[in-house]
Structure 1
């Protein structure tokens, strides 16, 4: 038999079998009147490829138009999934946490990020631990004492990574800033070389962890798995060094989250293992670093595109700067004066939400918008069904910070931080991180985009394809 035919025949049979299965499966899912309308895409890969090519906003908009404006079904990351849409979908998820729904993460994500062998025994510890150690450090009253630290890091960042250059790429620099800040506040780690190594592996992981879970050499997911191994090894070294430090001093000499975790005892009296602590620290870094860096990137993008809005932000921030003594750092009172700047930030986050939403799992059968969602189905609530809806945001493509004046958007329509019991505990941290960066940036620079129509691509978050290259114009030269 011809060699080519020997190879192609089984491939042809496989493709025909998959196609038959696809058509049968598609017909079955779309003709069931009880579950939400939709499609399951191709076997194994589902609609991962479609979502990757079009991006979440377009993917969701097309399916809402074709199937239902309230809810549709799809298959992503190897799971049957229902997308709940609109403010009513957001409200349903936020008000039914731990009743009809529970938090869920794809196995593909946990495999990349975490020590999976301790996840099961770790799950009962994570919630109370975060409620005590992490929530405490992220409360506004606790964050107040970190404002000066955050301002000092932002100042240093401007001096070393921005001021020496005429042209820079915004996204990688904003990643460096937010990651260094997270490492300092969560682990009291400011060794540039250690932070750089952890960040390099973090970038590889976040770029591949939401991709199709195909573990072949050369795929984004395969690179993410390898990056995750290096990331965890790096964190274990940091955790081990800190544990030794605490054992030798016999007291907590630092007040960061890592030091608190090392001293917390579980219900059985045992200290948390280093792998359990690593899982928790990684969860914090994912939540605090990636989304904030994307938010800052798009804020600068929008400030470059709208000079009149930049001028208003500059005016507000310079009033604060002029009220300070030379070298004096920002305070909580200064942050509270940045009302226009925060409206600008929120409008940028509306147009380019860093977090696309979050996963849940159905704890029991329930009905939403007249359709049955079976127990075990995965749920995805998302920002893209409301943030660009003209019903809630007239002329949604227009950049208009005034939308957030007065009572602001309609309930459950602007949800970048989620809502309900599982609202992002880092919301206030993100606000401080963003506003302190904005203050230090506009105080020093104006900017100009170097690529006028730079493409936006979707990895785990939306990012400018070329990193948003800009030209800087220091104020001191004018």
Structure 2
């Protein structure tokens, strides 16, 4: 039975994207080409229907007690509804509606062409976070695998272990302390050059500029704005397309992402080569004790150094992770502070108290960050309501049972932040903005999961905290603001973002 499920999953996945690609091409072709592509699309639809029908009969006759739910349309499953809810800014509706209809613990669906069990609630999160490489392992869409080809040379488990061994020296709190002042200087420069001279700004693209500059400085010791700008544009294209539908035709987001990845990787390899020469010659300055230098001088368990392609891909992944999440959180903090003046005033009060303890021109330090308790509670509440990570997939590596239902080997499992973040059982009056939820012991374990959990919890959590708080410290002391579009929509694709980028009008203090 499991083998048929996997056959169905793989075949359907490719039929889905072939069909979508055909639709896109049909809109641009001549009558003859249109007829041919329409025929191919009809064949793909017909074949996928019969595959789905055949697998459904096998599933029904097998007697496996699968979770309740429905697999949706042939070959596309419920992917369109899943994406539609995100584009409407209500990704939680997909989860909540099915929890109400089928089960508050688990339901089945079909996402990205894969039969998927969606686990819900704190117990479901604990199941996945506590059984990494026992019952489940991480799973990424094919788009990620194609953009990061070097990761295919090793197993997911081995790749993750190798990468995480390289990070602790830089991403643990005690190591990040020395970076606070650098982040502070970058935030000041950014506001001086992109905010101070303007009456209106669009927050989301500027937040991305800030977080990208911080990542370039701390990961690669690049601080020249012109050098950063050289590969900022292709990087943004890559970040936008890394989770897109993997249709590799000219003009598609995925095709643009592959080309952008090649461009960024080429720039990174040039930086790596230059740094390698400096390291071998003993000319790398002490200020360049960054992640790149660490990767160049660290060996694996077999005494082997990472090759340049591996380093480029790992740096690329870190840049994406250190860029998208924090920029989304900063944007939504600005949004909520505009909507909630009483919260803004409390944040400003706290940050002015921090600034009062500094000498003129003195940079922020680690002790200052620890005083920003209310500001971080505000950031946590923002991440509860607008989590930058909507959820993540795992793959079952063995048959197992959960909540009385069978999960076959090879099935994908999905956990969602929205299954708990907006659940009134865990967060009373869940739509209310209330930073006090994070005072004292905070939320119940496994209910607040903006950074994931278990062995795969985001290793950059503390890095993101510093980056966010440093920016908020600087921006609230310079400005107040109001939204130019009070009812601006929010879309989630796959991260939340204001539909117009959050344009605001600034008021200088």
Structure-1-length-normalised TM-score: 0.92
User: Which region of structure 1 is more displaced relative to structure 2, 177-186 or 14-23?
Assistant: 14-23
- Per the alignment, residue 188 of structure 2 pairs with 155
Match of 2:129 in 1: 94
Corresponding position of 1:404: 438
* Residues in 2 aligned to 1:86 and 1:58: alpha-carbon distance in whole angstroms: 15
1:341 has 2:375 as partner = yes
Correspondence 1:26-37 to 2 at 5 A: 34-37=65-68
Q: Is the 8 A contact 1:204 1:227 kept in 2?
A: yes
Write the mapping of 1:121-140 to structure 2, written as runs, cut at 5 A.
121=154, 126-140=159-173
Aligned to 1:457, which of 474, 488, 491? 491
Measured after TM superposition, the shift of residue 361 of structure 1 is 1.8
Report what 1:229 is aligned to.
Answer: 262
Give per-residue Cα distances to partners, 1:246-290, cap 9 Å, x unaligned: 223366742000011011223443321110101211221222110
Cα deviation for residue 58 of structure 1 reads: 2.1
Q: Distance in 2 between matches of 1:109 and 1:349?
A: 24
How far has the Cα of 1:340 moved from its partner? 0.8
Residue 34 of structure 1 deviates from its aligned partner by 1.2
Within the candidate set 119, 138, 148, 1:84 is matched to: 119
Out of 53-62 and 337-346, give the one that drifted further: 53-62
Match in the other structure for 1:280: 314
Indicate the residue corresponding to 1:413 in structure 2: 447
* 1:236-275 equivalence runs, <5 A: 236-249=269-282, 253=286, 254-275=288-309
Q: Distance in 2 between matches of 1:151 and 1:10?
A: 56
Is 2:70 the counterpart of 1:39? yes
Give unpaired runs (5+ residues) of structure 1. Answer: none
Q: Distance in 1 between matches of 2:483 and 2:365?
A: 31
Shift of 1:94: 1.5
Could you tell me how far 1:327 is from its partner in structure 2?
Answer: 0.4
Question: What is residue 422 of structure 1 aligned with on the other side?
Answer: 456
How far off is 1:217 after superposition?
2.8
- Call closer, same or farther: CA 1:414–1:12 in 2, change over 3 Å: closer
Counterpart in 2 of 1:67?
A: 102
**Cα 1:265–1:14, aligned 2, differ >3 Å: closer, same or farther?**
closer
Alignment partner of 1:443: what SS?
A: helix
Tell me what 2:200 maps to. Answer: 167
Name which of 218, 223, 235 aligns with 2:251: 218
Question: Deviation of residue 124 (structure 1)?
Answer: 7.1
Cross-structure match for 1:360: 394
Query: Contact (CA 8 Å) 2:269, 2:308: kept in 1 or not?
Result: yes
Pair 199,60 (structure 1): closer, same or farther in 2 beyond 3 Å: farther
The answer to whether the 8 A contact 2:278-2:284 is kept is no
Q: CA deviation at 1:423?
A: 1.9
Would the aligned equivalents of 1:30 and 1:37 in 2 still touch at CA under 8 Å? no
CA distance in 2, matches of 1:12, 1:423: 43
Per-residue CA deviations over 1:92-135 (Å, capped at 9, x if unaligned) read 111112221222222221212x1x14632486764454444311
- SS of equivalent residue, structure 1 residue 285: helix
Taking the aligned partners of 2:56 and 2:252, their CA distance within structure 1 comes to 27
Aligned to 1:371: 405
Stretches of structure 2 that go unaligned for 5 or more consecutive residues are: 1-30
RMSD after superposition: 2.5
Partner of 1:437: 471
Determine if contact 1:77/1:213 at 8 Å carries over to the other structure.
no
**What secondary structure, in the 3-state scheme, does the structure 2 residue paired with 1:446 have?**
strand
Tell me the TM-score normalised to structure 2 length: 0.86
Moved more, 225-234 or 137-146: 225-234
- Which residue in the other structure is 1:471 paired with? 505
1:183 maps to 216
Cα distance in 2 for residues equivalent to 1:103 and 1:17: 30
Could you tell me how far apart the structure 2 residues matched to 1:141 and 1:303 are? 30
Instruction: Say if 2:451 and 2:458, in contact at 8 Å, map to a contact too.
Output: yes
1:439, distance to aligned residue in structure 2 (A):
0.3
Whole-angstrom CA distance in 2 between matches of 1:449 and 1:365:
51
Deviations 1:35-87 (A, max 9, x none): 22233334444433222211132222222223322112222233322211111
Q: Counterparts of 1:218 and 1:161 in 2: how far apart (Å)? A: 31
Partner of 2:354: 320
Q: Secondary structure at the match of 1:386?
A: helix
Q: Tell me which residue corresponds to 1:109.
A: 144
Q: Is the 8 A contact 1:365 1:372 kept in 2?
A: yes
Rate the CA distance shift 1:270–1:24 in 2: closer, same or farther, 3 A: closer
Q: Is the 8 A contact 2:151 2:159 kept in 1?
A: no
Q: When the two structures are aligned, how many residues end up with a matched partner?
A: 472
Identify the range of structure 1 (162-171 vs 35-44) with the bigger mean alpha-carbon deviation.
Answer: 35-44
